[in-house]
Structure 1
């Protein structure tokens, strides 16, 4: 069965949710979007621009959280309109659903909030597609209840479930690819988050670490086991990104990776 974005773009390829962790500025968002649109158009990959309008889950109180809600959301809307692509952003509380829905096409539920019934319901009520990140503390099989909560509010809702690893000790994550297979039985597209699954959380420095050199490995394995889509945060200068730079893919490395992934998709299909 073709996924939501495969149907929209009449494509048998995987789809891609990609962009910076957070909206840092209009110029940066446009730069990243233009680069990725050029690559995905050439490769025939359905593309969704990703950017968080606000970061609510920060380790330290003084960490970067955003440039202002309305400004960041307006940049997301402008990116979507200028490049003709859908857009996705996170929401954290029920009142944010209606606000964000005025600007973007997909509402994303962060992993730590995937069991929040009222948040899932609020997202569903907007009529937008809903991407639910699987909690680091949950199995893929248990995510059927999250889908059920959305569908109870809106039976026609387009739902995505995103694998992003499971907690392994206090400061690491591990990816169990059985979760992708398990989640594919639900009425939802299944996505692999290739960057957050490589985080090294809870560092004593108060800044989350990561293993970005393994992004390609995670992505290739996900396509091989049947993921419908990939989630990749990317930035032209990860070392100076305002959020999650330690696990983002350098923008210059994205094209070669996507070329390799398209070839893998062709083989497994």
Structure 2
């Protein structure tokens, strides 16, 4: 595991032989939901020796419709997210949507995430790099895995080598995504940890209703395949009640299903490590 990740996870006293998990609700919709989810996710990861980065977006900038929920206010949401670190001692990740947001968000979190649609935007990559935080760049749905070398180069040339890449599927027609698992070793060959986004890769975007659909029944399939090919980490959005979540409920994992899934994946990782 890269030294910056080992340092990030040092307080969690977990094994570097396991995958790490980036998990939490899609967006901060209330303190109650965030804290309840964090308590459960932290307990699962402690039990199974899984390094955790807790995730939630302070705002969702990429919405299909103007009336879609986007957030409760940036600073208010970030302060709620910071309470997770204060209460549970885990690192945090959140998305930024513009170069001007990098400095603000970096005051609250440990990892800045660049959304897939923005992975080619030079100014946002450079701004994130200059904060000195770890930068997690999601591979664009429109890019080949090897093309992510240019995102990596922009960050390293901005004097930051703390980089992760996340695959979240590739567009397959107008309403679906597919995952090409060759992309995981391809991006690992760029010298950075690679994460599989097991929930957004199951989105069904561009629906006529203007609300993104999903196929959460396949989350375990995506997770198992990612572990089998050697992904360094998994990204899973989870919520206590996805049907009533204010964003991406159609493809989030029900929180009640997280522990049994992590049990299976931890066992699978142990097998993979012996091969």
Task: Assess same fold via TM > 0.5.
Answer: yes
The Cα shift of 1:6 comes to: 4.6
2:5 corresponding residue in structure 1: 5
The Cα shift of 1:3 comes to: 6.8
The Cα shift of 1:12 comes to: 1.2
Cα distance in 1 for residues equivalent to 2:78 and 2:262: 27
Q: Does 1:50 find its partner at 2:70? A: no
Q: Among residues 69, 94, 97, which one is paired with 1:89 in the alignment?
A: 94
2:177 corresponding residue in structure 1: 173
1:241 corresponding residue in structure 2: 245
Cα distance in 2 for residues equivalent to 1:236 and 1:28: 8
- Native 8 Å contact 1:6 1:15 kept in 2: no
Cα distance in 2 for residues equivalent to 1:233 and 1:207: 17
Poorly superposed stretches of 4+, deviation over 3 Å: 1-10
1:136 corresponding residue in structure 2: 141
Cα distance in 1 for residues equivalent to 2:40 and 2:241: 14
Cα distance in 2 for residues equivalent to 1:87 and 1:123: 15
Unaligned runs of 5+ residues in structure 1 are none
The Cα shift of 1:5 comes to: 3.2
Unaligned runs of 5+ residues in structure 2 are none
- Native 8 Å contact 1:48 1:88 kept in 2: yes
1:162-201 matches, cutoff 5 A: 162-201=166-205
Q: Helix, strand or coil for the counterpart of 1:108?
A: strand
Cα distance in 2 for residues equivalent to 1:154 and 1:107: 15
2:107 corresponding residue in structure 1: 102
Residues 258, 82 of structure 1: alpha-carbon distance in 2 compared, 3 angstrom cutoff: same
1:11-55 Cα deviation digits (max 9, x unpaired): 211000000000011111000000000000010000011000000
Cα distance in 1 for residues equivalent to 2:6 and 2:127: 26
Cα distance in 2 for residues equivalent to 1:143 and 1:3: 21
Cα distance in 2 for residues equivalent to 1:247 and 1:52: 16
Q: Among residues 156, 161, 165, which one is paired with 2:165 in the alignment?
A: 161
Cα distance in 1 for residues equivalent to 2:149 and 2:265: 28
Cα distance in 2 for residues equivalent to 1:3 and 1:37: 22
The Cα shift of 1:203 comes to: 0.2
- Native 8 Å contact 1:2 1:12 kept in 2: no
Cα distance in 2 for residues equivalent to 1:179 and 1:24: 33
1:178-209 Cα deviation digits (max 9, x unpaired): 11010001121100000000000000000000
Cα distance in 1 for residues equivalent to 2:257 and 2:6: 24
